[in-house]
A and B are shown apart, each in its own frame.
Chain A
């Protein structure tokens, strides 16, 4: 008996079991390989509990001691390269929740899937092999665009880092590609010798060395996962748009929350320092003064954070200045003026403290904007280093001067 076409919604009492033998599927255009839906052994009546409420159904035979089946697995395929999980191509609420969390900087360092071989749809020996990273966001982002595709998915162990960053670090690299191809036995699975890698993996992968190491030819796929179906339909040819990186408003703003969350820890220290510095005055240290003046300074600091982490990414191409430190300073200055206008009637706002506030806000915005270069896809490290050499001394000087003027304004 075979289970082709049987679905998991079948009543378990009519369940037909999968026989152990698998087709090799080695002929071109062969039928899909043996499909094994997640297996539920029908319970023998003697095994059912004698009393109490109805028991849960027996565990699936696909469950293994020590391993949990991930929610994105639809079914298992038996292949010449072993049992391969076929994954769902529609994201579940838990996946969207995970995306939201990592985009906010929560638990983004442990958001992985197991590296190795997966299937999408019902691939056979001719089906293409798509390679990706084991960061779950990368994995989810790819599979959600593959609902019309039958393909094998080779997931590299990039230690939970996305494709482009991992390529820069070398973990989405030549050796890892070779290792996964050999370890998974890909050569027994497909009758072609091509693997499709995302173009942004290129900084870490030498196509010619992959060929030497495992016999598979690297085909550079499009930059964006959304273009994969069109790429495959066009006989694995990419047009120019598929090969160019963009940095649209939407792409920039998805990065902003992480920038803010990364700034959190230094910001807390900054707030503490502001509180202490605000209390220094004619009475050596006054808690009332500390509290009241801090509010002013903190609002300046927060305005600087918003300017550097939100305004700069949002308005990036329209803010004057090539260097991000300059763009940040301009946005910081604008935000400082808004803060001053808001606090206009405040008793603690003098000329000196007002100027200090401007310096602080501008310096904070400038520094944070400069940090944004690390997540921007058109800034060169040489350029970043050059602007940092000029900007950082100025930022430090501005903060020191602001602190001095802030203390001075108390006397």
Chain B
């Protein structure tokens, strides 16, 4: 995966260092190795490798990590633009 990179400086991932207790749960669940232990706390080591899946903030016990996960699906995003978040559905029963 090292040779597959996407757009830079767009992701919403953020780490609140003060809240981090160094449990390492995020390093276990991230599918791209974006986070790594740095001494007794965690550090973002590859911000642009993040795909905003939300595994890390779902499993952070202290809420130190925040990310806005979303459906990276063009059809859905178009629906959100047109109909708004409440009424957007995916591309119909054929999608996911």
Q: Which residues of A contact B (CB under 8 A)?
A: 105, 109, 161, 165, 167-168, 199-200, 202-208, 220, 223, 240, 243-247, 261-262, 265, 316-317, 322-323, 367, 370-371, 373-374, 376-388, 392
Contact = CB atoms under 8 A, between A and B. Distances in A.
B6 A322 contact: yes
10 contacts: A199-B29, A205-B58, A262-B95, A322-B5, A370-B74, A373-B72, A378-B1, A378-B6, A380-B72, A382-B70
A44 B52 CA distance: 65
Contacts of B22: none
Nearest to A238: B28
Given A199-B29, A261-B94, 16 more contacts: A168-B71, A223-B31, A243-B30, A244-B31, A247-B4, A322-B5, A322-B7, A374-B73, A374-B76, A377-B51, A380-B6, A380-B10, A383-B7, A384-B77, A385-B77, A386-B7
A165 B96 contact: yes
A356 to B, nearest CB: 24
A374 B30 CA distance: 19
Interface string B16-54: 000000000100111111000000000000000111111
A206 B56 CA distance: 9
A287 to B, nearest CB: 33
A382 B11 contact: yes
A395 B56 CA distance: 35
Nearest to A261: B94
Contact of B28 (A105, A109, A204, A243): A243
A206 B31 contact: no
Nearest to B28: A220
B71 A203 contact: no
Contact of A379 (B3, B30, B51): B51
Contacts of A199: 28-29, 31, 55
A161 B96 contact: yes
Nearest to A387: B7
B7 A377 contact: no
Interface in B58-91: 58-59, 61, 68-78, 91
A200 B31 contact: yes
A171 B8 CA distance: 30
B74 A374 contact: yes
Contacts of B61: 208
B32 A244 contact: yes
B71 to A, nearest CB: 6
Contacts of B25: 207
A60 B38 CA distance: 60
Contacts of A386: 7, 10
Contacts of A105: 94
Given A240-B33, A244-B31, A383 B96 contact: no
B59 to A, nearest CB: 6
Given A373-B72, A386-B7, A203 B12 contact: no
A319 to B, nearest CB: 11
B75 A374 contact: yes
Contacts of A245: 1, 31-32
B20 to A, nearest CB: 15
Contacts of B54: 168, 203
Contact of B50 (A317, A370, A380): A380
Nearest to B8: A322
A367 B74 CA distance: 9
Given A379-B72, A380-B51, A381-B71, A203 B58 contact: yes
A317 B3 CA distance: 7
Contacts of B30: 243
Contacts of A384: 72-74, 77
A255 B71 CA distance: 17
Contacts of B12: 380, 382
